[in-house]
Amino acid sequence: MVKSRIPAPRRPLLLGACALLGTSALLVACGAPGTPAAAGDAAHRSAPPSASTGTTGTADGTSSAVRPTPDGDRETGAVPGRTPAPPAPGGSTAPASPYASPSSSPSAPGSAAPSASPSASRPATPARPSAPVPASHVLRHTASGGRTVALTFDDGPGPATGQVLDLLAQYGAKATFCEIGGNAQARPAAVRRIVAEGHRLCDHTVDHPQPMHTRSHERQVAEIADARSMIEHAAGDGTPIAWWRAPGGDFTAENERIGADLGMKSLGWSVDPRDWSRPGVQAIVANVQHDLRPGGVVLMHDGGGDRSQTVAALKQLLPWLVAQGYAFDFPQS
């Protein structure tokens, strides 16, 4: 009796061969559980799809967040006030240009693409120093010394300038007016009255930039020189301007030199009642009375906003100064 042969399934035979030979190639081909190929397929199947909130799926099933750059430059990620890390030694300080070089042209069909040429090196523009060298010759004293006081008024001429001049005339007081170039240009009659009544003029820049030391050298020159020209023209050509005053008192060795080259000294102050902030009439009066010493220079404002508190405080300060035996003087020059 002839026995019929039943063909054995092919996969059990292949698995048997894999187990017998034990080679990694056959194991991979067999797709045995736990092999890298099988694990990779499982991971790929289990990886979550990318979320619409800015995450990307990875091969191991995790997701990595795509974070926006910090507030500041959205292109470079620069943050205002934060100094960027220095470049690696020997590295380029300029980012690669996203545009093709003007000298490059498309490759002809079948020709090799031309190699990119290195961009020409350009000298980096030096950054403004974060800690500027302070000025060394800022004047904060009267010309005569002794029991004298120099009253100075900033940011005018403005609507309150006429009232200030009326009060000064009432007490025979002289003062120095540190004027904004644009305001002098807009109110030439007030400038001429200041000069006609025996007061002095001071350059307070074109438009009061703050902080001044962060501006370029050229911008600082323009702020000081152009304001001087505007004030002189409003007052009458040839009117002397002996001083200039930095906005906010931001004097540096650099802008002090600019003023000196234009024939002006840097004028500071010794008493600041902060009248510009409108702290109240009595606060202004009390600050001056408390801080003033013989030979002092008092800072106040006749422009730059509502100066009604300054005018009201001056009505009290002028008779008080006279009663205290102070004489009115100009600053050192």
- Residues classed as catalytic: 154, 301
Instruction: Give the pairing type, strands 63-65 and 55-57.
Output: antiparallel
274-288 burial by CB neighbour count: b if 16+ within 10 A, else e?
ebbebeebebbbebb
Please state whether the peptide bond connecting residue 7 to the residue before it is cis, i.e. omega within 30 degrees of 0: no
Phi-psi sector, 157: left (phi>0), alpha (psi -120 to 50), beta: beta
Helix (H, G, I), strand (E, B) or coil at 317: helix
Instruction: Provide the β-strand partners of residue 183.
Output: none
State the alpha helices, DSSP H only, in the chain. Answer: 10-21, 24-30, 36-46, 161-170, 181-186, 188-196, 217-235, 253-261, 281-291, 308-323
- Alpha-carbon gap, residue 120 to 4, rounded angstroms: 86
- Nearest CA-CA partner of 148 in 174, 178, 171: 174
Strands 63-65 and 243-244: unpaired
